[in-house]
């Protein structure tokens, strides 16, 4: 809870509350072991679902939540070698040299 508090997270409640772990013997009781902590301002807060339909043969219930990703929050870094540049020529030379230096003496048909 200290870590959750330091990150401004709160325990979220599923739409269909219930046990998330089912006991595999009659001596134990079912329990809630799987938890979701989220920022309470998130639109998905308190909207995750326990999917009981696909639990078996597992003893834990899968938790489903939809996470939205805004396009403006996705930083894409694209690195490329400019076509017909000196860097491209050097890269191709290095690949050719590497392929030529592969030891194939012990390969069999």
Q: What is the tens place of the pLDDT at every residue in 29-66?
A: 888 888 889 888 888 888 889 888 887 777 888 888 87
Q: What is the spatial distance between Cα 27 and Cα 106, in angstroms, rounded to a whole number?
A: 61
Q: What is the pLDDT of residues 58-68, one digit of tens each?
A: 788 888 887 77
Residues in the chain: 109
* Cα–Cα distance list, 25 to 15, 53, 97 (Å): 27, 20, 63
Neighbours of 96 (CB within 10 A): 10
Residues whose CB falls within 8 Å of the CB of residue 40, separated by 6 or more in sequence, listed in order = 10
The answer to whether the CB of 63 falls within 8 A of the CB of 51 is yes
């Amino acid at each position: 809870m200290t870590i959750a508090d330091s990150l401004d997270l709160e325990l979220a409640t599923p739409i269909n509350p219930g046990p998330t772990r089912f006991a595999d013997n009659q001596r134990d009781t079912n329990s809630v072991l799987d938890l979701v902590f989220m920022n309470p301002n998130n639109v998905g807060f308190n909207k995750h679902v326990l999917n009981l339909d696909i639990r078996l043969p597992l003893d834990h219930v899968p938790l489903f939540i939809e996470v939205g990703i805004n396009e403006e929050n996705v930083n894409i870094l694209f690195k490329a070698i400019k076509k017909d540049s000196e860097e491209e020529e050097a890269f191709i030379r290095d690949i050719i040299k590497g392929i030529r230096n592969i030891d194939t003496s012990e390969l069999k048909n």
